[in-house]
Structure 1
Amino acid sequence: MPHSHLIKPMLSELYPEIDYGKGVFLYDKAGFEYLDACSGAVTANIGHGIEEILQAIYRQGQQVSFVYRSQFTNEPSEQLAALLSKETGLDWCFLVNSGSEAVETAVKIAIQHWQEKGRPSKRRVISRWLSYHGITLGALSASGHPVRRERFDSFVGDWPAVEPPYCYRCPFGMTYPGCNVQCARQLETVIRRIGEGNVAAFIAEPVIGAAGGAIDAPPEYFRIIKEICEKYEILFIADEVMTGCGRTGTFLAMEHWGIKPDIVALGKGLSAGYAPIAAALVTKEVLEPILQGSQVIMSGHTFSANPLSSAAALAVLKLIKSEKMIEGIGEKAEYLQNELKGMKKNYAFIGDVRGIGLMIGIEFAGSVNGKKIDAAFTSILVEGAKKEGLLLYPAAAGIDGRSGSAVMIAPPFTITIPEIDELIARLERTFKSITVI
């Protein structure tokens, strides 16, 4: 095989080369078929090879592919911002290129909000352990993902201070509902320790993704969080990069609990993988001091709000709407979750099946062939599944964020019931194969 000049996640690994994708399937150059049970990185929400999206990108490219945001605006970006505002109820939209950028932009706006209100001491951000907000240094500072933080420990901020709502392995050694949702109430203690006059924002994922494997919170968790934030005048940032744009069965996952965040980060499914784009959405109340003050948000990137990516995202969101894809998630998710929970009876190493909508996590526990399951088991399982033509998303797990093993199943919204049956069949073969390793 000729030498590759492309830096890949694992430098010594030989990756299959993908030839094309169609629907929920990907095909490599050797003709091998993969069922994309995780939408890549929980991104390809509408599936692969959708002609309408490709045509929308082509049409925009024929007009203009790039203009610089400090010189011009453009129609696709204006329309996308308006559509996102309508869907979320947040009035302003800052378009960027990745989830990490969206998170950092959200944090910058939160800090600038307080500066322009004459309260510059409110600049600290609080986040949770077992969280992942992105790989850039600012987003990594917010991330309570020990494995991804450790190499850059001297550069990242100490933002994680609150335990996650991890009922399967409660960090407080309690059981819901007798715990009084201590994981949410801990935020108030942390705020009081730091000083409410020093805290700008609290950031959290509605469903914990890569750092925990689709950990969903108790029903009253985010109501308590929002009440605490309002009590101490702290902005609530919802990182919906993974959950947003319909993944959990509502456009924003926060809708499940009737909570309106002050700022929302979107990404991944915003363009469903057809172009790089993400967004930070802001309420008018958050932006008002900036509008009345400097009128400049100190953030931005060369490709922010480029018309090509905006056209792709706009086409994706319109297709999701016209095909009523979000409305169809509930039935598919219930079927898939029931099938996965049914597998627990046959495989003792399945510890927990959890999640909301088509964002489902499986955490493993106990042992396989007398060997205790640890983080290394995730790689064994993911590679075993790949050999069976099934793509799973690896996730960290365990209360320390290091020692546990989990995967996520998050297929495209377009998956059919027969395709879910095929997903389960390939997963079953994977489980059977690893029990004889």
Structure 2
Amino acid sequence: MMSIKNNSKPYQDSQLTQIEFGGAQDVFYSWSNDQRPMIVKGEGIYLWDEQGNKYLDASSGPVTCNIGHSNPNVLRAMQQQAQELTFSFASSSRNLPNIDLAKKLTELAGEGFERALFVSGGSEAVDMAIKFCRQYRYATGEKKRNKLISCLPSYHGMTLGALAVSGDPVFAEVFGEMISMAHKIPAMMSYHRPDNQSEEEYSLQCAKYLEEKIIEVGEDSVLAFIIEPVGGSSSGAIAPPELYFNEIRRICDNYGVFLIYDEVMSGTGRTGEFLTSHLWPDARPDITVLAKGLGAGYAHLGAMLAPAALVDELSELTGFNYAHTYNASPLSCAVGSAVLNEITQNGLLENTRNMGLYLRDKLGELQNKFTIIGDVRGRGLLLAIELVASHSPRKYLPLDIEAIERFKKLAQLEGLLIYGRRSNGGIYGEPLLIAPPLNVTIEELDLIIEGLAKTIGIFEAELRTNGII
């Protein structure tokens, strides 16, 4: 373990230590790390397993626990709401936490996001955004607009609707015949751009792919284009420049295509602005979806943000025909409000910007020190490192060694829990997300860097020993 010392009593007498891997639930995770620790406690940026081992949650789970674990203010809000009202069916009743959260969220989101609808997670929010766009076009007479465009690679969730717009050939092979898959264009993968192109040339080329695809599919049949403004697990915090998004906005306007930003991971302050789209006022999307950091690991919560003009017009025409059991759950909404209070009242956007700069500099130092760190990228506290065989000259790791999974296991032994997901077996790169909570301190960042340095050194030596680098 790294220099994270555990002062609490180990949980060795717990029945948890007697639970072997497998059985009623673990079998569903047989593809995952078979050495996943049994976590029994969380506080701040730390987690403990049943043996008393202490881990630093360096990626906020899957970039979700944006204010850390066991925040007392959020726990109080949960308890108070649970004592008053735990459930109210949104289709037949109203509840105050829903109204309160909608007001807070739309005020933070600003112009163009005056309406908010809450669901139970990111995949559901993506589904809802697509259905909203379709119902609006259908109600306004543009019934032929039913085609979607997204990027390859990309990830937008695990429901069938969200998988349809996700860019992962493995998922497409399994589920593609069951659903109408979105048309794909190459994602802007800055680290992998051709050597003979400048960033400006590459940005314009990648944006041009969208226009070409709209024309190919049919200008009057394309409904929407969905993209993460900062890439998540599929691309590893790829952060295209403003020029790219301005061009995408212009193209969507020219062809009457809705622009949807999937900010499930990048939203709610993660990149240093409440919404990443706030960075580019001229490229504001028509629809934004949020999740992860909105519930921050305390509740299952996602949201769709949309402009009043669109929502109100659809309401007058047909209404938005959409309902799930846990839409606008009062308990989840109370949690969401408490999370937003933590962000706004404790200056976490500014802290995210400052700590993000510090962390990026420190990751850059690791890149200069070690051969296998090919790239450091991202915005705010949504950062990534990409594993390679050599960063100069650039040489990629063999796919069959499953570098991300091996690195995560080694990091776990050093007391770090890190999130990374291989898209299509790693052919789009081997990125790991470094995304601590928005209230992280410099001292905690230094511990992350210390653990990463040890892990990188061990992994690099292992690769050399095996003749891979």
**Contact 1:365–1:373, Cα closer than 8 Å, also in 2:** no
Task: Give 1:403 deviation, angstroms.
Answer: 5.4
CA distance in 1, matches of 2:214, 2:194: 19
Task: Give 1:373 deviation, angstroms.
Answer: 4.0
Matches within 5 A, 1:6-405: 6-7=25-26, 8-10=28-30, 13-89=34-110, 90-170=113-193, 174-179=197-202, 181-258=204-281, 259-295=283-319, 297-366=320-389, 372-374=397-399, 376-396=402-422, 402=427, 404-405=429-430
SS at match of 2:200: coil
- CA shift in 2, pair 1:251/1:197, >3 Å: same
CA distance in 2, matches of 1:393, 1:148: 20
- CA shift in 2, pair 1:118/1:371, >3 Å: closer
**Contact 2:129–2:287, Cα closer than 8 Å, also in 1:** yes
For structure 2, the residue ranges without an aligned partner over 5 or more in a row are 1-17, 463-469
Report the identity percentage: 36
- CA shift in 2, pair 1:14/1:333, >3 Å: closer
For structure 1, the residue ranges without an aligned partner over 5 or more in a row are none
Task: Give 1:162 deviation, angstroms.
Answer: 1.4
CA distance in 1, matches of 2:423, 2:82: 43
- CA shift in 2, pair 1:172/1:430, >3 Å: closer
SS at match of 2:384: strand
Task: Give 1:332 deviation, angstroms.
Answer: 0.5
**Contact 1:141–1:159, Cα closer than 8 Å, also in 2:** yes
Task: Give 1:10 deviation, angstroms.
Answer: 2.5
**Contact 1:165–1:218, Cα closer than 8 Å, also in 2:** no
- CA shift in 2, pair 1:329/1:264, >3 Å: same
CA distance in 1, matches of 2:389, 2:31: 31
Task: Give 1:342 deviation, angstroms.
Answer: 0.9
Aligned to 1:5: 24
Letter in 1 for 2:24: H
Letter in 1 for 2:104: L
Task: Give 1:26 deviation, angstroms.
Answer: 0.6
CA distance in 1, matches of 2:123, 2:66: 19
* Greater Cα shift, 101-110 or 147-156: 147-156
SS at match of 1:220: helix
CA distance in 2, matches of 1:311, 1:413: 20
- CA shift in 2, pair 1:171/1:310, >3 Å: farther
**Contact 1:130–1:208, Cα closer than 8 Å, also in 2:** no
**Contact 2:376–2:386, Cα closer than 8 Å, also in 1:** yes
Letter in 2 for 1:93: A
Task: Give 1:145 deviation, angstroms.
Answer: 2.1
Alignment RMSD (CA, Å): 2.0
SS at match of 1:435: helix
Task: Give 1:171 deviation, angstroms.
Answer: 6.8
CA distance in 1, matches of 2:125, 2:93: 21
CA distance in 2, matches of 1:378, 1:317: 33
Aligned to 1:428: 453
Letter in 1 for 2:255: Y
Letter in 1 for 2:262: D
Aligned to 2:8: none
Task: Give 1:157 deviation, angstroms.
Answer: 2.8
SS at match of 2:209: helix
**TM-score under structure 1 normalisation?**
0.95
CA distance in 2, matches of 1:316, 1:178: 40
Provide the aligned length of Structure 1 versus Structure 2: 434
- CA shift in 2, pair 1:226/1:172, >3 Å: farther
SS at match of 2:198: coil
**Contact 2:203–2:243, Cα closer than 8 Å, also in 1:** no
Say which of 420, 427, 435 aligns to 1:410: 435
- CA shift in 2, pair 1:279/1:344, >3 Å: same
Larger relative helix fraction: 2
* Greater Cα shift, 4-13 or 251-260: 4-13
Task: Give 1:172 deviation, angstroms.
Answer: 9.7
* Greater Cα shift, 400-409 or 117-126: 400-409
